[in-house]
Amino acid sequence: MRATLKRLEIVRYRREVRAIIGSGQRVDTKFFSLKYLPSNNRLIPRRIAFHLNSKIRGAVIRNRLKRRLREIFRQNKNWFPEGFDYLIQARTGAENLGFQQLKQEIEKLIGRFKND
């Protein structure tokens, strides 16, 4: 069985990402910002999108970071409450974190979201 993120679990359309940015609420950590908006889609419990700062130089580095973030989401979907669309924005410096450090940062980010 392939361990991948389903296409339906990813916010794919620009208008949906813009809606999250424009109308969503936000919580921050040093390396990440999480914007979230209640979802209109009742079929998919939670969806996610990623945005990496253009100051993170090098396509290979940005793609590796995005793959790691997708994997963290895939393995830990239960961290993310159902009924929301999420946008995780990475800031400069996030590319230097190891996988476990990234996982801890995302866990801290979701903890702040749940306490908000």
Put the strands of the sheet holding 32-38 in their side by side order: 25-28, 32-38, 84-90, 46-52
pTM (global) more than 0.95: no
Distance of CA 89 to the CA centre of its chain: 7
pLDDT tens for each residue of the chain, 116 residues long: 567 788 889 998 999 999 999 999 999 999 999 999 998 877 788 999 999 988 898 999 999 999 999 999 999 999 999 999 999 999 999 999 999 999 999 999 999 988 87
The CA distances from residue 47 to 50, 97, 114, in Å, are: 11, 24, 16
Separation between Cα atoms, residue 86 and residue 69, nearest integer Å: 12
Which domains are assigned to the chain?
29-115 (3.30.230.10)
Beta strand 84-90 pairing with 25-28? unpaired
